[in-house]
Structure 1
Amino acid sequence: MAARIDHLVTSGTFSLDGGTWDVDNNVWIVGDDEEAIVIDAAHDADAILQALDGRTLRAIICTHAHNDHIDAAPALANRTGARIHLHPADLPLWKQTHPDTAPDAELAEGQVLTIAGTDLTVLHTPGHAPGAVCLYAPDLGTVFTGDTLFQGGPGATGRSFSDFPTIVASIRDRLLTLPPETVVRTGHGDPTTIGEEAPHLDEWLKRGH
């Protein structure tokens, strides 16, 4: 059986630079009836375990280390034995949320993760966070972008560890080169496609000045 994508929305808070905001997060589960990976273990380990429905969890992949994307990761790892994967450039952010634990494995540009016979390629896309990554699954016609690219443009870059020119360069060079029909599954909100977002690159560049 080919891998499928299951979608869960969890709710909690995002905190950085002394502020806290209520947020809803997309949790993506990729796998088959036997095994799966979780992309961004946000807020609620119980809800994620329920959505896994007894499947073996092979890995917890963090698109970046803002607290709302990783707050449930250690609890989920403890209950499943799955390893937590994070790009090392985001370790300073990780330590703000989990000072006494560390991820189990590093993500790197071009690394290929395989689940249920389906490959996901790691694209390092800094800007929203230094270690932000996207996961491209060509067989599924999708890319999981975390908070790098949304319906309507780039992720936020107004807080610590973020940079607008960097995120636009990441999107231009790493994401907009993907096939236009590629579905963009984001960290918050509704999906979009590469083709829907690509024509707006010049608008985003002007927005940053």
Structure 2
Amino acid sequence: MAARIEHLVTSGSFSLDGGTWDVDNNVWIVGDDDECVVIDAAHDADAILAAVGDRRLVGILCTHAHDDHIGAVAGVQAKRTAPTYLHPDDMVLWDRVYPDAPPSRPLENGQHIQVAGIDLEVLHTPGHSPGAVCFYAPALGTVFSGDTLFHGGPGATGRSFSDFPTIIASITDTLLTLPASTVVLTGHGESTTIGAEAEHVDEWIARGH
């Protein structure tokens, strides 16, 4: 069977800079009937494991290391042997959640990860966090944007380790170079397209957030 994208919404909390907020996260699974990857193991390991089923889990791919996006990594790995991939620039955040359990493998810009005949290209898109990445699947016409780009604007940059000019540069120099029809599957909330968001960059810059 051809590769497909599956979607879970998991719920929990996000904590940083002394505050805690309730959040719903998108968890994306890319694969076929035999193997898959999980993009962002958020909150609920049991739900993620149920969705993976008996398929070979090729890896857990982290768009970044805020606690709401990696909180279920340990629970998934307790039941399944699979490497976790993270950009090294986000270790400052990872270590706050898993100080004694480093991720298995580093991510770098331009890296390619294969699953179920699909190529996922790693795009380093700092700004929301230093090591934020997106995963571009041209065969699926899709980019998994984590918290770099949402329906309606860039990810938040008001907390530690984030920067607004940097995220704008990541979006304009990297994501907006993708085909306008590319579907953007986000870390929270509804999906969008590259073309739909490209129309509003000047508005985001004018707002400054």
- TM-score norm. by structure 1 comes to 0.99
Once residues 51 and 81 of structure 2 are traced to their aligned partners in structure 1, the CA distance between those partners, rounded to angstroms, is 17
Match of 1:92 in 2: 92
- Report Cα offsets for 1:99-118 as digits up to 9, x if no partner: 12110000000000000000
Equivalent pairs, count? 209
Percent identity between matched residues is: 69
SS in 1 for 2:93: helix
Match of 1:191 in 2: 191
Match of 2:159 in 1: 159
Q: Which letter does structure 1 place at the counterpart of 2:64?
A: H
1:101 aligns with 2:98: no
**Which runs of 5 or more structure 2 residues have no equivalent in the other structure?**
none
For the aligned residue pairs, the C-alpha RMSD in angstroms reads 0.8
Match of 2:33 in 1: 33
Once residues 77 and 157 of structure 1 are traced to their aligned partners in structure 2, the CA distance between those partners, rounded to angstroms, is 30
Q: Which letter does structure 2 place at the counterpart of 1:193?
A: T
CA contact (8 A) 1:4 1:32 kept: yes
CA contact (8 A) 1:60 1:77 kept: no
SS in 2 for 1:13: strand
Once residues 171 and 207 of structure 1 are traced to their aligned partners in structure 2, the CA distance between those partners, rounded to angstroms, is 16
Once residues 64 and 102 of structure 1 are traced to their aligned partners in structure 2, the CA distance between those partners, rounded to angstroms, is 14
Once residues 56 and 79 of structure 1 are traced to their aligned partners in structure 2, the CA distance between those partners, rounded to angstroms, is 12
Alpha-carbon deviation of 1:87? 0.1
1:118 aligns with 2:118: yes
1:17 aligns with 2:17: yes
- Report Cα offsets for 1:2-48 as digits up to 9, x if no partner: 21000000000000000000000000000000100000000011000
SS in 1 for 2:174: helix
Once residues 208 and 102 of structure 2 are traced to their aligned partners in structure 1, the CA distance between those partners, rounded to angstroms, is 34
- Report Cα offsets for 1:130-175 as digits up to 9, x if no partner: 0000000000000000000000000000000000000000000110
Once residues 148 and 78 of structure 1 are traced to their aligned partners in structure 2, the CA distance between those partners, rounded to angstroms, is 29
Q: Which letter does structure 2 place at the counterpart of 1:132?
A: A
Once residues 86 and 185 of structure 2 are traced to their aligned partners in structure 1, the CA distance between those partners, rounded to angstroms, is 19
Once residues 108 and 78 of structure 1 are traced to their aligned partners in structure 2, the CA distance between those partners, rounded to angstroms, is 26
The residue correspondences of 1:65-76 to structure 2 (distance < 5 A) are 65-76=65-76
Q: Which letter does structure 1 place at the counterpart of 2:41?
A: A
- TM-score norm. by structure 2 comes to 0.99
SS in 1 for 2:47: helix
Q: Which letter does structure 2 place at the counterpart of 1:188?
A: H
Alpha-carbon deviation of 1:78? 2.5
Match of 2:59 in 1: 59
Match of 1:172 in 2: 172
Match of 2:81 in 1: 81
CA contact (8 A) 1:2 1:118 kept: no
Q: Which letter does structure 2 place at the counterpart of 1:165?
A: P
Alpha-carbon deviation of 1:56? 1.1
SS in 2 for 1:176: helix
